Amino acid sequence: MKIYLAPLEGITGFIYRRALFECFGGFDKYFIPFIRPNQKGHFSSREKKDISPENNAGMYAVPQILTNSAEDFLRTAAKLKTYGYGEVNLNLGCPSRTVVTKGRGAGFLAKPEELERFLDEIFEKCPLEISVKTRLGMEDPGQFEKILAIYNRFPMKELIIHPRVQKDFYKNTPNLDVFEQALQESSSPVCYNGDIFTTADYEKFAARFPEVECIMTGRGTLADPALARKLKGGKGADKAELKKFHDRIYAGYCEEMSGDRTILYKMKELWFYLAPIFPDSRKYAKKIRKCEKCRVYEEVVEELFRNESPAC
């Protein structure tokens, strides 16, 4: 079984990915949150750091592009090739309103003819292998039949399906019936993504879909960074590992960012997902949310690690 780390914009940047890779591992591919090509054709400084080979050393990293312009996609892919990448992922799932209203991400799924022309051009000219990460459509999961018929015309490295529609955002549950149909009909290898939070979730999924050889996890890994390792039969996270993992991420943000507020914003986002791994974390999570100074934050985190143990 192959396990991929989902791209989570704002969270799984290079600092998080490195710490995850070095402290827990277990992933066959590490997807990099989306690059949004700009008019000048330059990478932003965040994007440059995220894709730079030294920040991804040892990992199989896959950059992702969010665009509906074939020209922008191809220009970006050509630049990514010069960084040494062999595979690029196309984002056809982002549900954010600002993205969707511009016809990108999941918004592109509402324009099948344009999408097909776009795919025609990028598959003809792209110097890298292309994989696609997709939702089922904008509103109606029934839209996926037509979309899949289009995808089937192209030699995708793999098709990663998050079986929700745009209007679900992250609510409701993944539509496994439509996923099942897609699995039967896809001409590309399929990877499943969505709501795998625990080994029990995975076992339930695998019992229904024993033929699926590849899954991608996002929020499940944020909540339990040892999830991939556990799914492959390894051990759960212990306190020392979690401390090391936290300290690397915190040190990375302190080095990369300036100002207590900015650093703490990132750490609070991390703890939003991670805190429940400690069964009695509520009072610490509340204190962390209230922290305004790194000095205070460090004391709360020390106290948490001194007094609590993870539940896995």
Ligand X SMILES: Cc1cc2nc3c(=O)[nH]c(=O)nc-3n(C[C@H](O)[C@H](O)[C@H](O)COP(=O)(O)O)c2cc1C
Q: Footprint of ligand X on this chain (CB under 6 A)?
A: 6-11, 33-34, 64, 91, 93-94, 133, 162, 193-196, 217-220
124 burial level (CB within 10 Å; 0-12, 13-18, 19+): exposed
Please, which residue, 99 or 288, has the CB nearer to ligand X?
A: 99
Min CB(135)–ligand X separation in Å: 8
Which residue lies nearer to ligand X by CB, 83 or 272?
Answer: 272
Tell me how far, at minimum, the Cβ of 201 lies from ligand X, in Å.
9
Q: Which is nearer to ligand X, 296 or 312 (CB)?
A: 312
Nearest approach, Cβ of residue 169 and ligand X (Å): 9
* Closer to ligand X by Cβ: residue 196 or 285: 196
State the residue number with the nearest CB to ligand X.
Answer: 218
Cβ 303 to ligand X shortest distance, Å: 28
Comparison of 89 and 300: residue with beta carbon closer to ligand X: 89
Largest CA distance in the chain: 58
Cα torsion at 47, 53, 59, 63 (round to 10°)?
30
Closest separation between CB of residue 89 and ligand X, Å?
7
